[in-house]
Amino acid sequence: MYQKSKTLLKEQGLAASKKLGQNFLVHEHTAQRIVDFVELSKEDTVLEIGVGLGALTRPLAEAAGQVLGLEADSGIIRLHEEQGDLPENVHLMHQDVLKADYDELVQLSQGKKLKIIANLPYSISSPFLFQLIEQHEQIDFAVIMLQKEVALRLLAQPGTKEYGVPTVMLGTVATVKMLMHVGPEEFHPRPKVDSAVIRLSFDPLPERAAALGNFDRKLLKTIVSSTFGQRRKTLLNGLASAGLLSKDVLRECINEAELLPSVRAEQLTLETFVRLAQIIKTRLA
């Protein structure tokens, strides 16, 4: 596949775009291993983000009934249209995933929650993850390849430097599992960093997330972002920086949550953050 992808790009006058995070998988067996993790049947429609030259798309089309393939690069769309090189059950769409309408994607997926697979352009990992969190009710699972460092942040435990806003926010909707590590030699062109494939399971909602009760997700994000944004500051000072309530009222909220004002954000569990958001919400009303 390596030589093929290089030659194909050259023939078509295309160069791998850095801006679009184009690092194409070059070994068929690696693509197949990733697809095997997804466990698809011919009843399934799977949504692939970033089709590229089709390394994952082809084995996906073999395993699933239908592949909805999103691709932002018009040069790549043209290439597949001209070459007719993708299997018939692939529905290729020229679409930036960050602007996608998830209701529409669910409809195209026979009204079923989305099964997503992506070798992500690293430049969009963060907005894409927050999009998944926002759209979690529309998603069954996502198997995604991303920068190993980002994957480790999503899997991090409280009290570590990797633990942060995405860990907490994702924890409210999904469980995260490490599937495999992937080295730079698996791509053309080679990225400077290591990669990892992880699975995010949204449905059923993980027990831990279901036990959280009702909370205002937007408020939680404001709280988590402001406190982690000021990582070295105390919880009280971090919270105060969000400008939601006076310091005195915030001190009372922290007390009610049975915390010390001097505690740091990275020591708080998901459950404690949610509890704090619930308390602060009552004071905002």
Stretch that binds ligand SAM, among 38-46, 59-67, 119-127, 152-160 (CB under 6 A): 119-127
| Shortest spacing between CB 121 and ligand SAM, in angstroms | 4
In the structure encoding, which two tokens stand for residue 6, read together? Answer: 């290089």
For ligand SAM, the binding residue among 79, 97, 129, 212 (CB under 6 A) is: 97
Calculate the alpha carbon distances from 229 to 137, 166, 234, 241 in Å. Answer: 28, 12, 11, 9
**Which one of the spans 64-72, 80-88, 214-222, 270-278 is the region binding ligand SAM (CB under 6 A)?**
64-72
Could you tell me which of 260, 127, 169, 277 has the C-alpha nearest to residue 215?
277
Window contacting ligand SAM (CB under 6 A); options: 71-79, 211-219, 246-254, 257-265: 71-79
Per-residue interface string for the shown chain with ligand SAM, residues 75-94, x marking contact by CB under 6 A: -x------------------
Bond before 127 cis per omega within 30 degrees: no
**β-strand partners of 197:** 145, 180
How far apart, in whole angstroms, are the C-alpha atoms of residue 276 and residue 215?
10
Question: Taking CB under 6 A as the rule, does residue 102 contact ligand SAM?
Answer: no
Question: Considering the rule CB under 6 A, would residue 73 count as an interface residue with ligand SAM?
Answer: yes
Local structure of 260: helix, strand or coil: coil
Structure tokens at 95: 């679409």
Q: How far is the CB of 55 from ligand SAM (least distance, A)?
A: 4
266 binds ligand SAM (CB under 6 A): no
Cis peptide before 121 (omega within 30 of 0): no
Taking CB under 6 A as the binding criterion, the range among 6-14, 51-59, 170-178, 229-237 that sits at the site for ligand SAM is: 51-59
User: What length does the chain have?
Assistant: 285
Chain positions contacting ligand SAM, by CB under 6 A: 20-25, 49-53, 55-56, 70-73, 76, 96-98, 119, 121, 124
